[in-house]
A = this chain, B = another copy of it.
Amino acid sequence: MTSFYSEKHKFLLAVDCIIFGFHEGELNVLLLHRSFEPEKGKLSLPGGFLKENESLNDAAIRVLNELTGLENLYMEQVHTFGDVHRDSGERVVSVAYYALININDYDTSLLGKYNAIWVKSTDMPNLVFDHSEMVQSARHALCQRAAIEPVGFNLLPEKFTLPQFQTLYEAIYGEVLDKRNFRKKVLSMNVLEKLNEKDKLSSKRGAFLYRFNEEKYKEFISKGYDFTI
């Protein structure tokens, strides 16, 4: 007796990753110069094909690791793109993931190795296939997520200043926030610990460094509060 599954068509499956980094007050996305046909040389998202004994998530983790050298990145599935002719080479269904990295952890020598560039998300060039749409979707997903969960910290170094933190959220939301209101809200959550150090890189006076405290966050959540910035 033949299986029900037989004679069904099979497809190439890819994951494409929108890797966000935060640099100079802007969200940046890591792009590649595509190294193979079709569309060779054009800009594209980093991606890879799903392997036989690999889950989708693992494929995304693999692609992210290959490209950044980093592990345990924060990532989230965004959407699956399945138009018949979305890839001009062959039929490929692609699952988009976004990831957040602390751009300081990124080894810039990899840029040369992979012919990669960081591009400001406010200033995205055209990408191959439907990759521009993927970036749009990812930005939207990140915006929604960041509003309700503390994922933004993944884009910052361990120690960061409140002005940095605010600029990050301004970049994510694409709007400017009131300094006093922002600080009031963030500090009232009691999830940041203030350090006795200042960062003097961006001002003469210097700004106090803070650190996200997982324990405090759990406590905050356990009291039924929600993290909405």
Contact = CB atoms under 8 A, between A and B. Distances in A.
Interface of A: 3-5, 8-13, 36-37, 49-57, 59, 77, 79-84, 89-93, 95
Contacts of A93: 13, 50, 56
Enumerate the 8 nearest inter-chain pairs by beta-carbon distance, A residue then B residue, closest first. A56-B82, A10-B10, A4-B36, A80-B80, A9-B52, A8-B49, A5-B90, A55-B83
Contact of A5 (B4, B12, B84): B12
A49 to B, nearest CB: 5
Contacts of A53: 84
Given A10-B11, A50-B82, A3 B90 contact: yes
> How many copies of the polypeptide does the oligomer hold?
2
Contact of A13 (B11, B83, B84): B11
Given A4-B36, A37-B4, A11 B90 contact: no
